[in-house]
Amino acid sequence: MPEDAVLPGQDILPVLPALQGLLPAAGLQRGQVVTTDGGGLLCLALAAGASVAGAWCAAVGLPSLGVRAAVDAGLDHDRLLLIADPGGTWPQVVAALLDGCDIVLLRPPDRPSAQLRRKLEATARRHGSVLLVAGEWAGAQTRLLVASREWAGIGAGHGRLRACRVQVVAEGRGAGTRPRAAWLWLPGPDGSVAPVADPVSPDQASPRLALASSAPAGSAPAGSAPAGTGPAGTGPAGTGLVSTG
């Protein structure tokens, strides 16, 4: 059994080191709902740390999920259940999986009602599991989104995509009220998830400028150091972002 193996009595499920700074408890709190903006690699990466530590995971309503990509991100395929199309009974399927799995990844086929959300949230709390939703879920404790993205590998009109740099922003309720941000390889050249070592180098400036263009008027671009910036480790004054990169 791994040294950091997932045990039933643990309140926090581990995540990959690159993602720890984005979550208030540096891991996934049992009984909570966490959302990502889509069913891409970020959703898989959030479950990977617990999976490799021995957690059982299930993916529901994600027919395009690639097992190879999941394994590259760190998931243990021997502890991964795939239900590509649960049909109209998906709420019952998810409720049953929350009873038997530590993490359930879900892409709802439609917007669930408030009553259904409350029912599944209560099920997750009762069984101490994590509901990881790819998409919208009103009332989620933590939300993670990709604010900027830049692929690497294409040269002057030739080459192939080899890696992707992204800025992930996390926000939520309670301890996660203050937004946090980190630059990650998602995926890196080897398919894994890792922090970007130098997110402010010249060849990585473009995604930061793209993010700055959508910032509120009067705020400084990420990575700059104008007068009035906060203490070391915080973002530009007025942004409220805590950089973990």
Domain ranges of the chain: 12-134, 145-211+238-243
Predicted local confidence at residue 6, as pLDDT: 61
Amino acid at the residue 56: W
* Residue 134 and residue 41 in contact, taking contact as beta carbons nearer than 8 Å: no
Two tokens, residue 165: 């740099």
Predicted local confidence at residue 164, as pLDDT: 86
C-alpha distances out from residue 230 to 136, 138, 239, Å: 32, 32, 10
Question: Is 116 strand, coil or helix?
Answer: helix
Topology of the domain covering 12-134: Rossmann fold (3.40.50)
Predicted local confidence at residue 10, as pLDDT: 76
Q: Could you tell me what percentage of the chain is helix, strand and coil, using 3-state DSSP and rounding each to the nearest 5?
A: 30, 25, 45
Query: Would you write out the chain's pLDDT as a tens digit for each of its 245 residues?
Result: 444 566 555 799 999 999 999 998 899 999 999 999 866 788 889 999 999 999 999 999 988 777 776 787 788 989 999 998 999 999 999 999 999 999 999 999 888 999 999 999 999 999 999 999 999 899 899 999 999 888 876 655 555 667 888 899 999 887 657 789 999 988 788 777 888 887 654 344 333 333 333 333 344 433 333 444 343 333 433 344 445 55
pTM, 2 dp: 0.75
* Residue 142 and residue 24 in contact, taking contact as beta carbons nearer than 8 Å: yes
Q: Is the peptide bond before 195 cis (omega within 30 degrees of 0)?
A: no
Predicted local confidence at residue 37, as pLDDT: 86
| Residue of 132, 97, 136 whose CA lies nearest to 113 | 136
